[in-house]
Amino acid sequence: MHLARQQGVRISPAESMDALQAAQAVGLDSPNLLRESMAMTLAKTIEEEAICKACFDQFFLQQTSDGQTEHNASSSEDKTTLDDQQQLAEVLASDEKTQELVDQSDFIQALLQQDQAEVDAQMAEALGTLPLKQLSFFTQKGLFTRRLLDALGEAPIRQTLAELAEDNPAKHALKDVQEAMQAQAKQAIERAFELNAAGQHDQLMAELLRKTKLSAVERRHAERLQGLIQKLARKLTQKHRKRPKKTRRGQLHMIKTLRRGIANDGVMFDTFWRRTERRKPQIMAVCDVSGSVSAYAKFLLMLLYYLQDVLPRTRSFAFAHDLGEITSLFQQHPVEKAIEIANWRYGGATDYGSSLDKFWDIAGQDITKQTTVIILGDARNNYGDHRFERLLEISERCRRIIWLNPEGKNQWGSGDSEMLRYQRVCHLAHECNTLGQLETIVDNLITLVR
């Protein structure tokens, strides 16, 4: 369950108790039955069920299969290996120092006797002395392997090797024992890292991706980033889905309530509320899909698409050299394909002036005081006509304009940037170039428009 939690499965204490009761009911004789029962009690979605089964295989069956593989591999060479180990033990016994070392170490004796069960028991006891919860990075493997070897008693071996002469056969035999011990320790740390640090590594990667500029995210992390956006959308959906009913009730209509209470000697059995009909808000997202900003536009559009359950009516527009509405693309294609088509249709050199005019022509009549216009772009107009007055008209007609700029504020107004000019009529202007900033802005946006 700890491993499943690290992989992102939400497991409550009650579900943990259910899983233990299920394990007690089905017993430990059938691994497949136990695996299915654990997945059924812990998983809430199909994805979590797959993760739970993979964690079960990783924790229980991989060790068994590894041991079985090693056993099968070793069984074909049993006789040779046994003879080699006997010869190794005889060579070690020929020297007083190495024999004393063997007598003092249970782990070396288990290695020489090919007693894998005892080796595993000694290894588990040594691992128990290490703070494996701190094993979070692959760069720590070497350090933890060294500490495990010390716990297994490798230090006396190194000292004895330094004291023995080079032509002493016992020295070469002791080196073979040392190499076998190091191989066992390295394998144990590798497995401990997979079990204890894999989930932490994923969490660390997710945190790094949240703080990395979206344009700088490498292509190999695209799938992981898309998963993060879906997870973020689920989180925001759960947060904003519920609304208190009292906000819809309105204010008490005292006059009407008192008038109706006259017939009951002033007792107000019936209450009346002033209900104000609220017009549904809408969002218009206008995204620059030119080369320098397309990565940010892609993730904003993707996030807005995944938040359809909690966001009001949302219309999406894309522009660069031309502007067009892409709302229907999300209804006809998967979100990734829709964004790809939008980039292909409207990408190119950015012209904010003509794009604002085109936006006014397409959606100007639909803009009301319930409309929130979100513009995502760097405001770099290639020294063209900025058409500031058109943005002013839009701001006077809509409820608010929120401008998200992927550039740092110190770059606003530099070169061909019209950001300082456009900012004057924006209700909010934010720097937005990471997934963490995008989460904060969209979270505040949902609160404002609902």
- Give 367-381 pLDDT, tens digit per residue: 988 888 989 888 888
Average pLDDT, the chain: 80
Model confidence at 73: pLDDT above 60: no
179 token code pair: 């190499």
Q: What's the whole-number mean pLDDT along residues 47-61?
A: 79
Q: Are 160 and 97 in contact (CB under 8 A)?
A: yes
Which of 27-41, 70-84, 145-159 is predicted with the least confidence, judged by mean pLDDT? 70-84
Model confidence at 206: pLDDT above 60: yes
CA–CA distances in Å: residue 444 to residues 52, 313, 437, 450: 35, 17, 11, 10
Model confidence at 347: pLDDT above 80: no
Q: What's the whole-number mean pLDDT along residues 373-398?
A: 89
Hey, what long-range contacts does 117-126 have (CB within 8 A, 24 or more apart)? 119/184, 122/152, 123/152, 123/184, 123/185, 123/188, 126/151, 126/152
Model confidence at 79: pLDDT above 80: no
Confidence of residue 76 (pLDDT cuts 50, 70, 90): very low
pTM of the predicted structure, to 2 decimals:
0.60
Confidence of residue 125 (pLDDT cuts 50, 70, 90): confident
Confidence of residue 229 (pLDDT cuts 50, 70, 90): confident
pLDDT of residue 29: 81
Q: What's the whole-number mean pLDDT along residues 13-36?
A: 85
pLDDT of residue 361: 92
Confidence of residue 394 (pLDDT cuts 50, 70, 90): very high
298-328: pLDDT as tens digits: 777 777 777 766 676 788 888 888 888 888 8
4 CB-side CA count, 13 A? 26
Q: Which amino acid is at 329?
A: L
DSSP letter for 319, please.
E
CA–CA distances in Å: residue 8 to residues 34, 302, 398: 21, 22, 41
Backbone angles phi, psi at 380, to 5 degrees: -90, 110
Taking the CA atoms of residue 155, residue 159, residue 164 and residue 167 in that order, the dihedral angle to the nearest 10 degrees is 60
The percentage of the chain sitting over the pLDDT mark of 70, rounded to a whole number, equals 89
Confidence of residue 173 (pLDDT cuts 50, 70, 90): confident
pLDDT of residue 309: 66
Which of 136-140, 170-174, 199-203, 342-346 is predicted with the least confidence, judged by mean pLDDT? 199-203
